[in-house]
């Protein structure tokens, strides 16, 4: 109900100040006036559109992430009748503008051509001089208004939490300016805004609402004789997301304090709902209201860390050793691998003309799946991967949703890439070779996965194979709280993982964080068992090669509440970035916040595991 009262307040606040000229009467109007623009002896009646307050965007509990607020513009109202010469129009306008600049100590940039065009075609409506006055400016303006200068109330977007979830919410921008053509029936009295990114863009139609109708009549001299609201605007619908604003805030805080570029995604694996999807760096969408400041735009555009980029779903990275989880699944599901299979773990292995190395400098000996997974032994997984084969790895990776969009309603989501023969023929002019399979087995080569896709895939494993459609929006509600549209849970696929194979995967993932040989000790949480896998992979040209450090998994291990993925994007040439030392600690800090443990930094972390992948 609070949301409904807010919207009604906005309407009631704007409506009384919709006057177009200084004079007004209580003349009775025809209930269904027809707009006319006839001879100077007859009245002119218009049906003008009243923009509706834009609907809200909230988190899963109704906590507001985007709202509409009242905004005050300073506007110039020309006296009627509109029969002045160009020189008189400009003289009058410039006098008022000079006075306004001195009053508010702000520059007002408007050309003579714009002033004249407005006067000749839309002079009955106020000409906006300054937008979105600040509170202190508003107080000054109210004391200094003239018969020609008035305050115009409009709606403006407001993001109460600043940067929080900015890449999800997006931002708005003003639609094309009101036409400079002569005023016509149903023209809006002020410009609407439209979504330009994120939820604001994807659900622009639902958020906009329905314009109202203002009937205004002018006499033969152009003086307003009557004004009536024939139909009030209908506020836009409320979009309720799946985001938990508390968890989102924790993830963004951890990213801000622990990396220059990266992302964290957390999903409820049993419903597919995204509870947090954080990208760093981020931006403040309030800077786009009412229009983007050119200085801020330049600052954001020139920033090499690209704060406008939503890395969580629009960037994809080579997965490194996190992909060994999916290789293991493909082996179990295809019957090409069992928990008891043994392979050696030499420091290096030759495949064709290439030599692949382990991150450890000593021979790991003969290992089974859990042991090789715990130590993240490259040479073991290359041997297993060659036996499993590229077709099986590709098939089961795609069953996990990799190499395709998750289906969230945000534009430009990356598909990532799971290379197959068609891709290799198109890009490399050849089919998949053994060396490609070796690369694939350890998450290198042309594989690309977004943080959202990674969390989604581990969510499927968390449920034992049930693939719940990934969702970012729960439902859309009208102003009367009626549900306009809902996006319920649905099963997208069921991998039917055998219980014994799922237990092997779970045991291996727990060992990554708990075993002495594991690579993610710094993701441990007191009183809770974390299951996951680290990964470290390089991409980009040799002279500008960067490292993606990963940690992904689910928690609690035996009864998962969250599936997660974190990626730490290293700077070019930085070889100190690793999954165990860069990504795992971020998840550890998030989970320690979530589960109420404050000592997130584990002092007993082994330096050797910090340098693992």
Using one digit for the tens of pLDDT, what is the confidence trace for 394-416? 999 999 999 999 999 999 999 99
User: What is the Cα–Cα distance from 140 to 144, expressed in whole angstroms?
Assistant: 6
Burial 516-551 (b: 16+ CB within 10 A, else e): ebbbbbbbbbeeebbbbbbbbbebeeeeeebbbbbb
Residues 172, 320: one domain? Answer: no
Number of domains into which the chain is organized: 2
> Can you give the CATH number for the domain in which 234 is found?
3.90.1310.10
The DSSP element (H or E) to which 333 belongs, if any, is helix 324-334
Task: Tokens for 381, please give them.
Answer: 């997984």
Nearest to 250 by CA among 594, 599, 598, 569: 594
Please give the angle made by the CA atoms of 212, 215 and 217, to the nearest 5 degrees. 160
Give a yes or no: residue 284 inside a domain.
yes
Domain boundary among 239, 263, 281: 239
pLDDT attached to residue 3: 52
Q: Which of 270, 329, 274, 328 lies closest to 463, judged by CA?
A: 270
> Exposed/middle/buried for 43, CB within 10 Å: 0-12, 13-18, 19+?
middle
Reading the block at residue 602, the tokens are 């584990």
Handedness of CA 431, 434, 438, 439 (dihedral sign): negative
d(CA 579, CA 534): 5
The helix-helix angle for 390-399 and 434-441 (nearest 10°) equals: 40
> Do 151 and 206 belong to one domain?
yes
Judge whether 29 lies within some domain.
no
Residue-level pLDDT at 160? 97
Residues 275, 280: Cα–Cα separation, whole Å: 17
Give the helix ranges, DSSP H, for 369-463.
Answer: 369-375, 378-388, 390-399, 421-427, 434-441, 451-462
The two beta strands, 466-468 and 172-174, are unpaired
Q: How far is CA 598 from CA 20, 249, 284, 556, 592, in A?
A: 59, 16, 29, 18, 6
Please check whether residues 344 and 490 belong to one and the same domain.
yes
Q: Which tokens is 339 given?
A: 């928990």
Query: Which residues are 68's β-sheet partners?
Result: 157
Beta bridge partners of 534: 551
Are residues 155 and 9 located together in one domain of the fold?
Answer: yes
State how far the Cα of 439 lies from the Cα of 426, in Å rounded to an integer.
Answer: 18
Within a domain: 455: yes
Mark whether 235 and 156 lie in a shared domain: yes
- Both 418 and 433 in one domain: the answer is yes
Residue 273 pairs with which residues in a beta bridge? 268, 471
* 132/240 Cα distance (integer angstroms): 27
Nearest C-alpha neighbor of 401 from the set 384, 411, 413: 413
Q: How many residues does the chain have?
A: 613
Q: Are 325 and 533 in contact (CB under 8 A)?
A: yes
- Is the CB of residue 584 less than 8 Å from the CB of residue 556? no
Domain final residue, candidates 224, 239, 254: 239
CA 258 to CA 586: how far, in whole Å?
7
pLDDT at 456: 98
Q: Quick one: 259 and 234 in the same domain?
A: no
Distance between CA 476 and CA 487 in Å, rounded? Answer: 9
- Structural contact between residues 568 and 259, judged by C-beta atoms closer than 8 angstroms: yes
CA dihedral sign of residues 449, 569, 327, 276: negative
CB atoms inside a 10 Å sphere around CB 359: 18
Q: How far apart are CA 610 and CA 613, in angstroms?
A: 8
- How many helices (H) and strands (E) the chain has is answered by 20, 23
Among 239, 268, 286, where does a domain finish?
Answer: 239
Q: What pLDDT sits at residue 38?
A: 40
Q: What does DSSP say about strands 238-241 and 57-58: parallel, antiparallel, or unpaired?
A: parallel
Same domain, 184 and 256: no
Q: How many Cβ atoms are within 10 Å of 342's Cβ, its own excluded?
A: 12
Q: Is 563 exposed, middle or buried (0-12, 13-18, 19+ CB in 10 A)?
A: buried
Whether residue 37 lies inside any domain: the answer is no
CB 516 within 8 A of CB 605: no
Domain span at 382: 245-296+308-610
On whether the CB atoms of residues 552 and 264 are closer than 8 A, the answer is no
For residues 216 and 251, state if they share a domain.
no
State which residues of the chain have pLDDT below 70. Answer: 1-43, 176-180, 597-613
In a domain, 338, yes or no: yes
Q: Are residues 234 and 265 in the same domain?
A: no
Here the tokens at position 286 are 């309030």
Given 3-state DSSP classes, what are the helix, strand and coil percentages for the chain, each rounded to the nearest 5? Answer: 35, 25, 40
Encoded tokens for 577: 């970035």
Q: How far is CA 213 from CA 15, 53, 497, in A?
A: 11, 14, 59
Local structure of residue 525 (DSSP, 8 states): B
The pLDDT, as a whole number, for residue 297 is: 84
290 within a domain of the structure (yes/no) = yes
| Domain membership flag for residue 77 | yes
Q: How far is CA 56 from CA 1, 38, 53, 135, in A?
A: 13, 42, 9, 23
Is the same domain home to 207 and 221?
yes
| CATH code where residue 465 lies | 3.40.710.10
Q: Which of 2, 60, 51 is nearest to 487 (CA)?
A: 60
Is the pTM higher than 0.75? The answer reads: yes
SS3 of 192-254: CEEECCHHHHHCHHHHHCECEEEEEEECCCCCEEEEEEEECCECCCEEEECCCHHHHHHHHHH
Within this chain, do residues 377 and 520 fall inside the same structural domain, yes or no? Answer: yes
CA torsion 324-254-597-579 (nearest 10°) is 20
Whether 34 maps to a domain, the answer reads no
Sign for the CA dihedral angle at 183, 186, 191, 193 comes to: negative
DSSP 581: I
């Amino acid at each position: 109900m609070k949301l409904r009262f807010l919207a009604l307040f906005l309407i009631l606040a704007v409506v009384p100040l919709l006057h177009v000229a200084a004079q007004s009467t209580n003349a009775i109007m025809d209930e269904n006036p027809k707009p006319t623009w006839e001879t100077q002896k007859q009245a002119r009646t218009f049906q003008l559109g009243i923009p509706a307050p834009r609907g809200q965007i909230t988190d899963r509990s109704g906590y507001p992430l985007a709202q509409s607020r009242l905004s005050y513009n300073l506007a110039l109202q020309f006296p009627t009748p509109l029969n002045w010469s160009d020189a008189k129009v400009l003289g009058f306008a410039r006098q008022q503008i000079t006075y306004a600049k001195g009053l508010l100590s702000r520059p007002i940039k408007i050309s003579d051509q714009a002033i004249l065009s407005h006067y000749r075609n839309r002079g009955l409506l106020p000409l906006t001089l300054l937008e979105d006055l600040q509170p202190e400016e508003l107080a000054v303006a109210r004391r200094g208004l003239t018969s020609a200068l008035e305050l115009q109330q409009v709606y403006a977007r407001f993001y109460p939490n600043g940067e929080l979830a900015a890449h999800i919410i997006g931002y708005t921008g003003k639609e094309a300016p009101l036409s400079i053509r002569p005023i016509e029936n149903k023209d809006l009295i002020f410009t609407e805004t439209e979504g330009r990114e994120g939820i604001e863009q994807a659900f622009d139609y639902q958020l906009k609402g329905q314009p109202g109708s203002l009937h205004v009549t002018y006499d033969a001299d152009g003086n307003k004789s009557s004004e009536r609201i024939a139909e009030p605007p209908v506020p836009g619908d409320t979009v309720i997301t799946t985001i938990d604003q508390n968890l989102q805030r924790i993830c963004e805080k951890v990213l801000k304090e622990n990396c220059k570029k990266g992302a964290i995604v957390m999903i409820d694996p049993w419903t597919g709902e995204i509870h947090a999807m954080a990208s760093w760096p981020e931006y403040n969408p309030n800077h786009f209201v009412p229009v983007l400041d050119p200085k801020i735009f330049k600052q954001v555009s020139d920033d090499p860390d690209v704060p406008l980029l939503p890395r969580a779903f629009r960037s994809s990275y080579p997965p490194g050793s996190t992909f060994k989880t999916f290789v293991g699944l493909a082996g179990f599901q295809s019957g090409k691998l069992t928990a008891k299979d043994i392979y050696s773990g030499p420091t290096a292995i030759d495949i064709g003309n290439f030599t692949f190395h382990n991150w450890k400098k000593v021979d790991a000996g003969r290992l089974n799946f859990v042991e090789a997974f715990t130590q993240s032994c490259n040479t073991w997984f290359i041997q297993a991967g060659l036996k499993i084969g590229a077709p099986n790895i590709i098939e089961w990776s795609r069953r996990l949703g990799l190499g395709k969009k998750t289906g969230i309603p945000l534009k430009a989501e990356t598909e990532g890439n799971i290379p197959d023969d068609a891709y290799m023929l198109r890009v490399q002019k050849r089919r998949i070779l053994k060396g490609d399979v070796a690369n694939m087995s350890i998450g290198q080569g042309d594989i690309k996965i977004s943080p959202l896709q990674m969390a989604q895939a581990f969510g499927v494993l968390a449920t034992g194979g049930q693939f719940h459609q990934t969702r970012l929006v729960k439902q859309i509600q009208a102003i009367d709280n009626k549900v306009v549209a809902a996006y319920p849970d649905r099963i997208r696929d069921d991998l039917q993982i055998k219980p014994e194979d799922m237990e092997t995967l779970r045991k291996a993932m727990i060992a990554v964080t708990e075993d002495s040989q594991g690579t993610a000790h710094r993701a441990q949480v007191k009183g809770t068992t974390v299951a996951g896998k680290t990964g470290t992979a390089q991409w980009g040209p040799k002279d500008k090669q960067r490292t993606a450090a990963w940690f992904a998994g689910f928690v609690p291990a035996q009864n998962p509440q969250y599936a997660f993925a974190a990626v730490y994007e290293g700077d070019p040439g930085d070889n100190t970035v690793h999954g165990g030392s860069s990504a795992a600690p971020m998840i550890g800090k998030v989970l320690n916040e979530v589960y109420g443990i404050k000592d997130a930094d584990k002092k007993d972390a082994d330096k050797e595991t910090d340098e693992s992948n």
